[in-house]
Structures are given as C-alpha cells and as structure tokens.
Amino acid sequence: MQAAAKKMPTLVFPVRRVSVVSSRPFDEVVGQLGAAIGRPNMTEFRSAMTAAATLSDLEEVVGEAVGPSGLMEFVRFDSGEVLRKESGGTGPRMVRFVVGNPLIMKEMAKVVPDAASYAPVTILVDERADGVHLSYDSMASAVAPYNNPSAFAVAKNLDEKIERLLESAAG
C-alpha cells in the first residue's frame, strides 16, 4: 500500500534584493565578475566530486574549482540573446550567472534542507539606461523563515561574499 503524500505548509517571505549599478561597460563588468569566480569544466568537476571518497577529498576538488572569490560558476545564461531575437538583434545585454560553492551549500542544507533549493545563487548582470546593474537575491532572506541560526549565519557570510564580488565587478 502506498503512503499518502503529506502537504507541507507554504512559506511566504520577503526577499532582499541587492543591486549595484556600474558605469563601466557591460563587457568589462562581466569580465571582472568572471575573473573572480572559478569556471571549471563541469563534466570533470562532477566526475571529481563523485570520485571524492571523503570530505577532505571533496574540499580539495571544490578548492581547485573556485576562483579568488571562493565561488565557482555552474552555468551562464545569455538571457539578453533571447530578448534580442524579438527586436532583430538589438537591445540591452543581460547575463544570468549561477554561482556558488558546494561546501557552503552543504553547511546550510545539513540543518535546513530547503536551503539547497536556493544555492547555488543567481547573479543577474544587465544593461539599463542608468548603467550596468548587478543584482542578487540575499541568501539570508531566503533561509530566515526557517529560524535556524546556523544556516542563517552561513547565508549571511555568503551574502557578504557575493556583495563584495558585485561591488568589485562594478568598480
């Protein structure tokens, strides 16, 4: 006999969006951001993570994959390319970076499993009339409703790391 699914409560919570506006050109901002985050070959990274037998081995794999910011790029989406299709190839540029560090996610998810649905995080870089915007939704605001001080402290540290990254890339 199959057990019935239990409906979990729905959480509604405010998310703090951090945005930095740069007067630098779009390509320069994206280049600065890219220089600070690791860009491992994801197929090799996944294989190395699978092969890691211990936490120490995993830490070594992640340590080799992250950049100077302590973060790595999991994937990049050129959302602007999709938007420009409608306008015949013209228009502002927009790139979504999915970045993080599996060890940081682990620390949050072991006490708040739902934190794994928020990490890695998204950084959006887009051109607007007033400059290049770098935006990020705070991890601490995402895990705050779970009332876990340990996960919140890790999330707050991640927020500080990403905010420094955005400010540095913005110049």
Instruction: State the average pLDDT for the chain.
Output: 94
Report phi then psi at 135, rounded to 5.
-125, 150
Using the predicted structure, report yes or no on whether residue 86 has a pLDDT greater than 90: no
- In the chain, pLDDT over 90 holds for what percent of residues? 84
Predicted local confidence at residue 10, as pLDDT: 85
Q: Are 95 and 75 in contact (CB under 8 A)?
A: no
Distance CA(136)–CA(97), nearest Å, equals 10
Predicted local confidence at residue 1, as pLDDT: 63
Predicted local confidence at residue 85, as pLDDT: 85
Domain 17-170 CATH class label: alpha beta
Predicted local confidence at residue 12, as pLDDT: 85
* 84: confidence class by pLDDT, cuts 50, 70, 90: confident
Q: What is the mean pLDDT of residues 18-31?
A: 97
Q: Are 8 and 144 in contact (CB under 8 A)?
A: no
Task: Locate the domains of the chain by residue range.
Answer: 17-170
Instruction: Note the pLDDT tens digit of each residue in 123-153.
Output: 999 999 999 999 999 999 999 999 999 999 9
First to last CA, the chain: 61
